[in-house]
Structure 1
Amino acid sequence: MRQILCSAALALIPMAALAEPIPTSAGPMQAEPVVQDLEEPWAVGFLPDGTLLITEREGRLLSVRDGARREVSGLPRIRAEGQGGLLDILVPSDFAETRQIFLTYSKRQGFRGSGTAVYRAELSADGTRLENGRTIFEIARGTGGGFHFGSRLVEGPEGTLFVTVGDRGNPDEAQDLAMHNGSVLRIDRNGDAPGDNPFAEDRGAQAEIWSYGHRNPQGAAMDADGQLWVAEHGARGGDEVNRVEKGVNFGWPVISYGVNYNGTPIGEGQAKEGMAQPVHYWDPSIAPSGMAFYNGDLIPEWQGDAFVGSLKFDYIARLSGDPLREVEQIASDATARVRDVRTGPDGALWFLSVVNGALYRLAPAEGS
């Protein structure tokens, strides 16, 4: 499968467009543009036959294989407003048997509101349309505005899904268990809350909540031990990497390592009993989006390390160690406003650049 995907991808690369090698701790790397002319790309998924699926925020799902690009039909009605639109994509591990994929998007709720929703559908045999699609979950209504949808999807064990939701621009609601805002959710593939969720028996809480007190987690990934992590936006400073645990309160907006955009303090300080500390934080903010743990064979020096895209400073952060800390910044013209980062089935590190409107494959430079 790796050879198929690699061959299909390389066939799309205009060789003249290859930039100079990027110096990294693992040697010179080449960022190869695999798909270009994208309009605000948000996420990428890999199919077993080498097909790439790419979401564009304004509401397009693209299928790319063997140099051919086509738009996939059958999407739900998407409200592309502010930071909302068509967002993450998850190709589950059993896709070859089920042909199911999962998408997150901003769904209209009431006259003016919108909220993060999860859509499940089957990709047709010819890959041109989504079939039997339905919205399996949407957050509780009550929030307007186009901010902080979160919206990363991660496949959990036993058919569960983790979904990140931002505070939707209403910070206090991240502490309100009656709302989904500012939380990591755990649902099954029908959109229901598993019975062992931490608040499943609490009538005053939303049963889907797994952890809460998050601001806007736009990066999420599972490590090799099955541990879930998120990377989330702070305000002015205080972007965080958090090790997500069942039922934990991560403190937003009561505690934070950042300040409000006008420079005033946030909440009660940087720590409070009963609220978890981040494993790592950035100050100044890097605006993290897209997260992956490297588990390929192509770059053994990076095995097990985390990679997080920076929307603000145009680089990919490499985090390593215990506890995780940023140890390297991978930067070039290609890493302009990195929205998504994934380990590809070919062992390369793949990422989406919003500014360049392109999907890149980062791998050792030829001859290195």
Structure 2
Amino acid sequence: MSSRAHAWVAHLREGGTTPWLAFAGSLTEGAEPASRSLPGAQQLELLRRINVALESSAQTRGDHHRERTRLADRVLAAPAAGRGKADLPLVGLDGTTGFGPRAVDPEHVGAHELLRVASVLLADDLVGLGPDPVRSSWARPWRRRFRLVGDPVTASALREHLLAQGRPEGGPRPFLVAVGGPLDELLARTWTQRCFETGTKPFAEWLRFWRERDQLPARTDLVASVRRWNARRPFVRIVTDADRLPRQLGVRHLPEVRVPGADQAELARRIAAVVGLKVPRAERPGLLRTLQQRMPSSGAAPVAVPAREQEWVAASADRMGRNIARAGYPVVGDLADLAPRASTSSAVDDQQVLDLAIRMVVDPTWRTTAGQAKGVER
């Protein structure tokens, strides 16, 4: 039976896709296994699914054989990151005991366990790629000075866009522009952006953390964001109408900001946890910013606040609106726009996240430099 298991490993290394229980081969007489120990069921099943994805792509040509074998060896040697089970043995092997993890059929290993291995592969790819250079241009000192706070996804994207146009943030007496919107969307976007910066807890746990304290995260609380910069009232704008945001920044048009899907944010969260173990803390945001810019989209909807949290979100939005009115900050739009929209909750599905991870492992285009970063414009 051990010979059959080693033969299945060899079958997978050669691009095979036959499931374990359907595999009937064995090592040829005199052949030596690639390794004395067997990889875990997580690594083996992930490799089999990667082979299935490769089989349906153009990368099954002969000139990709060496790269495919190298990828297979990386998958089989990769550890499983984070909390979960140890490497699982294959069901049906002789000599198994009642101690240690229970033997499993690899086809029945959950997506969560496979993601623990896939996130290690993608984190290694990201660290090897390095951060993209930040695009910038000569500063235009005659333009309106600004500082962006509030909605982290929008603020981060527009900050980079304006920097590339010669509009760096800050300067003497800048207008502090706080980007607002429905509070449930601000909360979801705050969690999403944290996934692409330092990593964080799963969305449900993160929401519960703030709800139990009846507080809002720093970048979601617009009043706290303004006070953090000690901005004077005449130089503050609370913007809840996105169509009027360009004028507050002194430009005619702004690009549309793409909000990452729930599967993208969850995969980034898992990758961030591994990247944090491989590079110093100061280097993590640059790498994850590169991941955010390069990660392919699956078309999944952004994460949304579940219905059970909407009552707390509505009360928090009402309180934040009263605090803004009491502070007397100018509002561009309507404070009623802070009320949650109660959009349909989009749960983060592990299988969708795994599909995206396998797509990124199989398709190397997101790791290529051509057409991704145009360098620093001077």
Give the TM bin, normalised by the shorter chain.
under 0.3
TM-score, L = length of structure 2: 0.26
Name which one, 1 or 2, has greater alpha-carbon Rg.
Answer: 2
Q: Could you say which structure has the higher helix fraction?
A: 2
TM-score, L = length of structure 1: 0.26
**Higher-RCO chain (CA-CA 8 Å, sequence separation at least 6):** 2
